[in-house]
Structure 1
Amino acid sequence: MHEKNMATVNKQKTSILDKPLGKGKPEINVATFALLFSEMVQYCQNRVYSVSELQTKLSELGQHVGTHMIDLLFVREKGYKRETKLLNMLLFIKNNFWKTLFGKEADRLEHSNDDEKTYYIIETEHLVNRYISVPKDKGKLNCASFTAGIIEAVLNGANFPAKVTAHWHKGTTFMIEFDETVIARDKIV
């Protein structure tokens, strides 16, 4: 009887910090996300004078998110192991990373025919652009710059220095331009 009371006392003392870091529930309400993202775009829009400045601001916000996500992703998905090969890292982003952020894999990953250091992640209907109506005076605005910033921060944090930009082509295309050192290292490894 005494052991049963001790077990009850021990159960009450455990906190959320004592529990192992699990996969978590990756789903959020899309309406909540759309409202929050819309507010972020409006906040940035009120502090800039051009479309390119707005996209840069959104990318910077995305980089803050990506910087915080990288460790969490590698702990949950890879058991603390980091990728060392370029293609494996890109596949990790296309599959695991995209599922964590958007609930599904990215549509396509392509390599540039012209440049060995350029890759593309293509999403035909990207979530962040789905709920944004672009005014006529800001026709070239691509709010997926936010996601491009997240991808860039994850790649840079994983020691794959790159510049990532969002473009309107086949839906939304994320152009990833890796630093020369990444390509040289990948050939050695």
Structure 2
Amino acid sequence: MIGAGKIKQYSNVLDKPLSKGKQEVSLSAFAFLFSELVQYNQTQVDNIAELERRLEDAGYAVGARVLELLCHREKGNRRETRLLGILSFVHSTVWKVLFGKVADSLEKGTEHEDEYMISEKELLVNRFISIPKDMGTFNCGAFVAGIVRGVLDGAGFPAVVTAHFVPVEGQQRPRTTILIKFAEEVLRREARLG
């Protein structure tokens, strides 16, 4: 029979899944671009707090886009509605996409009910940064804190997210802890769903 065989099915471009594309970015390219981001913002500010805020704002935009991409790619446009679900999503899925591995730890704060911490022994954005003595408390982890805040805000979990160095006994470099303090409305909603 002439023309018998497989019939090509043409699907709508919107029916095709988003391709994963290349999964990794060159570490040296990222380090160079991030270094330039820090240096540029450093020339635009007068103090460390303002520099960290600008890095956090840059990270916030990245976080909003990462959430959108991951929701389309991995969750079929569904989003988390529970507190532990979104924290687990950030700790594992988001971290793995951004840094190639799951975060070292996710812990609940002991002093306050609304605080959670994501800790990383050697956060990528701090790995190649040497901080001058006059900028003693500067933490490039503010960029990652901004990413986390962008993801949480986009998912409907407003929070104040900050990055802190925590000294570790027996190690030269401190670990970085991303402190997440959720808004009161998130805790009320969680109690209602509870």
Aligned residues: 184
Q: Which of 129, 132, 136 pairs up with 1:135?
A: 132
Measure, in 1, the Cα distance between the counterparts of 2:15 and 2:78. Answer: 23
Match of 2:99 in 1: 102
Q: What aligned pairs does 1:1-189 form with structure 2 within 5 A after superposition?
A: 19-169=16-166, 170=168, 171-189=175-193
- Specify every segment of 5 or more residues in structure 2 that has no aligned partner in the other structure, as ranges: 169-174
TM-score between the two structures when normalised by the length of structure 2? 0.87
Measure, in 1, the Cα distance between the counterparts of 2:107 and 2:17. Answer: 37
- Specify every segment of 5 or more residues in structure 1 that has no aligned partner in the other structure, as ranges: none
Deviations 1:10-30 (A, max 9, x none): 99xx9x888531333321110
CA contact (8 A) 2:60 2:146 kept: yes
Which aligned segments of 4 or more residues in structure 1 are displaced greater than 3 angstroms? 1-4, 16-19
Larger % of helix: which? Answer: 1
| Aligned-residue RMSD, C-alpha | 2.2
Change (3 A) 1:20 1:136: same
Deviations 1:23-49 (A, max 9, x none): 333211100000000000000000001
TM-score between the two structures when normalised by the length of structure 1? 0.90
Which AA in structure 1 matches 2:110?
N
Measure, in 2, the Cα distance between the counterparts of 1:72 and 1:36. Answer: 21
CA contact (8 A) 1:144 1:172 kept: yes
